[in-house]
Amino acid sequence: MVTLVRPSSKVCNDTPANVGPITIQWRGADSARTPGVRALALTDAQIPDRYLTMSDADLDRRIESARRTLGSDLVILGHHYQRDEIIKHADFRGDSFKLSQLAADRAAAKYIVFCGVHFMAESADILSSPSQQVILPNLEAGCSMANMAQPDDVEQCWTELTSMIDQPIVPVTYMNSAASLKAFCGRNGGIVCTSSNAVGVLRWALERGKKVLFFPDQHLGRNTALRLGYRQDDMQIWTPRRALGGHEAAEIQATTFILWLGWCSVHARFSTEQVRWVRENYPGVRVLVHPECKREVVDLADESGSTELIVKRVSESPPGSVWAIGTEINLVSRLANENPDKTIVSLDPVICPCSTMYRIHPSYLAWVLDELVDGRVVNRIAVDPDTTRWARVALERMLAIQ
């Protein structure tokens, strides 16, 4: 039995149209020269109208033809939250941690086409070799969580913290952040984490400092610290653009974890009421949620973990298992289709894909691959050398943690 969501025809109102914006109006060269802003050098381009009116079958044929032509020069990475129409063309699929490792290992490929969002493509460029080029099919595919931590705000926070605290502070940025913030962590003795390795990363940080500044996702920071045995009293939320993050100096000096006021718009939708509903309506259900969910949702769930863990748990469970999953709907739907002998439901009755991931449409993938076949690179993500140097330090610290 396969059940994707509770009976509902509703779709969240922030889901974009199938193709998304047609015209790209982002001058990457300007942003690359601006201190504290995303360090990107992007090839400006506009998708031709013909790609927006092609049938699904024509798009599939063009994508597969380009893949055959490019051969081993090309690798396509697909994040778990991508739609099935993209995932079927990916050489590898996974969460941000797994895809970061794959990007670092694919030395033979000249072109890495990353079907994900900006911060993932940035990390792929940082970890890949200088001879490789990373391409993001649609430059509008960003991340609302990453945008909640602006570099200038983080620098101001760091200035305030280091001026009032004598103890060592270790900055930890979630993978969902700009390359410039990964570089900030590299320069200041910090590290990057993903939902897969957050426990190990926080242990690493606490071996080196008495306090941790964790950004941009407060929920992942809180849930991970609680897993390590810390209490809610050991944490304070830092609200950007407020003096001392909205706290008295004594509160900050007494705390262990300073958590940035940020969240994932998809995972923040899940609620305790939804958990209770599935337990009442699906006897024997196991509730499995992502650690970007709120603490009270994680507390009521049977288990929380990264998208890779969610895939593993469901795939390895016996036939007849019943699962309620709190993560992005494309992954939940794919798990249901790939495990027809199990009942798989989404916690959220409203079908709500990650609106920015959803902007990677097959039209854009076909376009950038056709351009590669013709010898042109469009939508390249290229992080500047200084940012690359320091961001690589933080990322390699992460990759070294088992």
pLDDT, tens digit, for every residue of 204-250?
A: 999 999 999 999 999 999 999 999 999 999 999 999 999 999 999 99
Task: Write out the H or E segment, with its range, that includes residue 114.
Answer: strand 111-115
**Which residues, including other chains, have CB under 8 Å from residue 318's CB and lie 6 or more apart?**
none
Task: Report the distance separating Cα 146 and Cα 216, nearest Å.
Answer: 7
| In this structure, CATH architecture of domain 147-260 | 3-Layer(aba) Sandwich (3.40)
Instruction: Output the pLDDT for position 402.
Output: 65
Topology (CATH) of 268-346? Rossmann fold (3.40.50)
Task: Report the distance separating Cα 187 and Cα 189, nearest Å.
Answer: 6
Q: Find out whether 270 and 285 touch, Cβ atoms under 8 Å.
A: no
Percent of the chain with pLDDT over 90: 69
> Per-residue confidence at 114, pLDDT binned at 50, 70, 90?
very high
Instruction: Output the pLDDT for position 34.
Output: 30
Instruction: Output the pLDDT for position 238.
Output: 98
3-state secondary structure of 183: helix
**In this structure, which amino acid lies at residue 151?**
P
Q: Find out whether 70 and 87 touch, Cβ atoms under 8 Å.
A: no
Sign for the pseudo-dihedral over CA of 364, 45, 356, 186 = positive
Task: Report the distance separating Cα 233 and Cα 121, nearest Å.
Answer: 36
Is residue 312 scored above 60 in pLDDT? Answer: yes
Instruction: Output the pLDDT for position 33.
Output: 28
Is residue 307 scored above 80 in pLDDT? Answer: yes
Is residue 14 scored above 60 in pLDDT? Answer: no
Instruction: Output the pLDDT for position 256.
Output: 98
The first and second tokens of residue 373, run together, are 């076949």
Interval 342-395: pLDDT, tens: 999 999 877 666 666 768 999 999 999 999 999 999 999 999 999 999 999 999
In the chain, CATH 3.40.50.10800 covers 28-142+357-384, 147-260, 268-346
Task: Report the distance separating Cα 78 and Cα 89, nearest Å.
Answer: 8
Instruction: State the average pLDDT for the chain.
Output: 86
Rounded to an integer, the average pLDDT of 124-133 is 91
Task: Report the distance separating Cα 252 and Cα 249, nearest Å.
Answer: 5
Instruction: Output the pLDDT for position 352.
Output: 61
Q: Treating both helix axes as pointing N-terminal to C-terminal, what angle do 118-127 and 179-187 enclose, rounded to 10 degrees?
A: 50
**106 vs 179: which has the higher pLDDT:** 179
Is residue 22 scored above 50 in pLDDT? Answer: no
Is residue 260 scored above 80 in pLDDT? Answer: yes
Q: What is the pTM of this model?
A: 0.83
**Which residues, including other chains, have CB under 8 Å from residue 110's CB and lie 6 or more apart?**
73, 74, 131, 132, 133
Q: Find out whether 96 and 120 touch, Cβ atoms under 8 Å.
A: yes
Percent of the chain with pLDDT over 70: 87
Q: What are phi and psi of 234, to 5 degrees?
A: -85, 5
Q: Find out whether 8 and 349 touch, Cβ atoms under 8 Å.
A: yes
Sheet with 303-304, strands from edge to edge, namely 303-304, 286-289, 322-326, 343-346
**Which residues, including other chains, have CB under 8 Å from residue 379's CB and lie 6 or more apart?**
24, 42, 43, 45, 135, 136, 137, 138, 139, 368
> Per-residue confidence at 57, pLDDT binned at 50, 70, 90?
very high
Task: Report the distance separating Cα 325 and Cα 301, nearest Å.
Answer: 9
Pairing of strands 191-193, 211-215: unpaired
Rounded to an integer, the average pLDDT of 270-294 is 96
Task: Report the distance separating Cα 139 and Cα 118, nearest Å.
Answer: 7
**358 vs 113: which has the higher pLDDT:** 113
Task: Determine the CATH number of domain 28-142+357-384.
Answer: 3.40.50.10800
> Per-residue confidence at 49, pLDDT binned at 50, 70, 90?
very high
The DSSP 8-state label assigned to residue 88 in this structure reads T
Is residue 21 scored above 90 in pLDDT? Answer: no
Task: Report the distance separating Cα 280 and Cα 273, nearest Å.
Answer: 11
> Per-residue confidence at 5, pLDDT binned at 50, 70, 90?
very low
Instruction: Output the pLDDT for position 105.
Output: 82
Instruction: Output the pLDDT for position 145.
Output: 87
Instruction: Output the pLDDT for position 220.
Output: 98
Is residue 270 scored above 90 in pLDDT? Answer: yes
**219 vs 41: which has the higher pLDDT:** 219
The DSSP 8-state label assigned to residue 276 in this structure reads H
Is residue 16 scored above 70 in pLDDT? Answer: no
